A and B are shown apart, each in its own frame.
Chain A
Amino acid sequence: MDLTADFFALFGLPKTFRLSLSELDSRYRDVQAQVHPDRFANAPEGERRLSMQWATRANEAYLTLKKPLERAKYLLELAGHDLQAESNTAMPADFLMEQMEWREAVMEARTGGDHHELEHLYQRLRGDIDGRYAEVAALLDDARDYALATDRVRRLMFLEKLLYEIDDALASLDD
Chain B
Amino acid sequence: MALFQIAEPGESAAPHEHKLAVGIDLGTTNSLVATVRSGIAVCLNDEQGRPLLPSVVHYNADGSTVVGYDARKDQAVDPKNTIVSVKRFMGRGKQDIAHIESMAYDFVDAPGMVKLKTQAGIKSPVEVSAEILKTLKARAEAGLGGELVGAVITVPAYFDDAQRQATKDAAKLAGLNVLRLLNEPTAAAIAYGLDNGAEGVYAVYDLGGGTFDISILKLTKGVFEVMATGGDSALGGDDFDHRIFCWVIEQGKLQPLSAADGRLLMMRCREAKEFLTKNPEAPITARLSTGEMVDLKLDVATFAEITRTLVSKTLQPVKKALRDAGLRADDVKGVVMVGGATRMPQIQKAVGDFFGQEPLTNLDPDKVVALGAATQANLLAGNKTGKDDWLLLDVIPLSLGLETMGGLTEKVIPRNSTIPTARAQEFTTFKDGQTAMAIHVVQGEREMIADCRSLARFELRGIPPMVAGAARIRVTFQVDADGLLSVTAREQTTGVESSITVKPSYGLSDDEIAGMLQDSLAHAKDDAMARALREAQVEAERMIEATEAALAEDPHLLNEAETARIRNAIAKLQEAAAGDNRRIINIAMDDLGFETQEFAHRRMDQSIKKVLSGRKVEEIGTGDEE
Contacts and interface: CB of A to CB of B under 8 A. Distances in A.
Interface of A: 1-2, 10-12, 26-27, 29-38, 41-47, 50-52, 54-56, 59-60, 62-63, 171, 174-175
B597 A46 contact: yes
A47 B546 contact: yes
A41 B611 contact: no
B608 interface: yes
Nearest to A168: B323
A171 B391 contact: no
Interface in B474-502: 478, 480-481
Contact of A34 (B392, B420, B608): B608
Contacts of B418: 59, 62-63
B150 A174 contact: no
A45 B319 contact: no
A66 to B, nearest CB: 11
A59 B381 contact: no
Contacts of B419: 59
B317 to A, nearest CB: 12
A31 B600 contact: no
B223 A29 contact: yes
A1 B606 CA distance: 8
Nearest to B609: A1
Nearest to A32: B391
Contact of B381 (A41, A52, A54, A60): A41
Interface of B: 19, 149-150, 179-180, 223, 319, 323, 376, 379-382, 389, 391-393, 417-422, 478, 480-481, 542-543, 546-547, 589, 592-594, 596-597, 600-601, 604-605, 607-613, 615-616
A30 B611 contact: yes
Contacts of A29: 223, 391
A4 to B, nearest CB: 12
A171 B323 contact: yes
Contacts of B389: 33
A27 B614 CA distance: 11
B604 A51 contact: yes
Contact of B601 (A10, A45, A50, A171): A50
Contacts of B376: 38
Contacts of A62: 418
A56 B478 contact: yes
Nearest to A11: B612
Contacts of A43: 546
SS class, residues of chain B in contact with chain A:
helix
Nearest to A34: B607
A44 B546 CA distance: 7
Given A31-B608, A41-B179, A174-B319, 17 more contacts: A1-B605, A2-B605, A26-B615, A34-B607, A35-B604, A35-B608, A36-B391, A38-B380, A38-B481, A41-B150, A41-B180, A42-B382, A44-B542, A46-B593, A54-B604, A54-B608, A59-B420
Contacts of A41: 150, 179-180, 380-381
Contacts of A2: 601, 605
5 contacts: A31-B612, A34-B608, A43-B546, A50-B600, A59-B419
B326 to A, nearest CB: 9
Give 10 nearest A-B pairs by CB, closest first.
Answer: A41-B380, A12-B612, A37-B481, A46-B593, A34-B607, A44-B543, A30-B611, A56-B420, A41-B179, A56-B422
Given A29-B223, A34-B604, A55-B481, A42 B379 contact: no
B228 to A, nearest CB: 14
Contacts of A32: 391, 393
B420 A37 contact: yes
Contacts of A35: 604, 607-608
Given A59-B418, A60-B421, A60-B422, A38 B392 contact: yes
A52 B420 contact: yes
Nearest to B392: A38
Contact of B180 (A1, A26, A38, A50): A38
A68 to B, nearest CB: 15
Nearest to B549: A43
Contacts of A175: 319
Contacts of B607: 34-35
Contact of A37 (B19, B480, B600, B612): B480
A26 B612 CA distance: 10
Contact of A42 (B150, B480, B610): B150
B179 A30 contact: no
Contacts of B323: 171
A38 B379 contact: yes
Contacts of A63: 417-418
Contact of B421 (A30, A50, A56, A174): A56
Contact of A12 (B379, B597, B615): B615
A9 to B, nearest CB: 10
Nearest to A57: B422
B596 A44 contact: yes
A30 B600 contact: no
Residue with the greatest number of chain B CB neighbours at <10 A, chosen from A37, A51, A174:
A37
Given A42-B382, A42-B546, A27 B391 contact: no
